[in-house]
Amino acid sequence: MFNITALRAQDTTFLRQVRSELQKTWPHNRAVNLVFHGHSVPAGYFATPVVNTLEAYPQQVLKGLKEKYPNAVINVIVTAIGGENSVKGAERFSSTVLIHQPDVLFIDYALNDRAIGLEKARAATEQMIREAQAQHIPVILLTPSPDISTDWKSAGNPLRLLRDQIVTLAKQYKTGLLDTYDIFLRQADVKPLMAQNNHPNEKGHRLIAEGILHWF
């Protein structure tokens, strides 16, 4: 069962305008663009090099939204690149993300940001948040999914530190937050949710998608 610990009191109004658009019917509706920016997990990599696009959480979110909003026109646009970190994601942010005019932007880089460290990850994530908010685009930050080859649950583990930093950024910039780390932490056994050490399988992606769907 999904635990709604990631949602805060103001979240009921955070996507109010987007939810209103999703409820409109032809000829008064328009396409709603959901953009998923990040690394290999939103890109759909399961057991590398296999890319299971249709089972990855962006497409599972689309399926869930179509069940809830059958008259909506929804574009799921995935700008994620396997192996990328937030510094690289920020460098191409304007040309490959903002160009799509997102109605909601999801940022999921923390798993790979271990390689660049907290300071660089924070600066790059802040840059993307500020650029999006300057265009009045709602941003939802995702904390990292597990890497079960590491001691990912420990307090001093880099994934935990990145998780805590993202939670802080969400509060500072009043973005949305999906605490993916916490969702997996609450599972009795994470191994059945993983396609490989650092990539969730379809069941793992479903947990992430369910968390996102609570925003809608």
Per-residue pLDDT band at 104 (split at 50, 70, 90): very high
Specify the pLDDT at position 184. 98
Mean pLDDT of 76-87: 98
Domain edges within the chain: 15-214
Mean pLDDT of 32-48: 98
CATH of span 15-214: 3.40.50.1110
Q: Per residue in 108-142, pLDDT tens?
A: 999 999 999 999 999 999 999 999 999 999 999 99
Buried b / exposed e along 2-38 (16+ C-beta atoms within 10 A): eeeebbeeeeeebbeebbebbeeeeeeeeebbbbbbb
Specify the pLDDT at position 13. 84
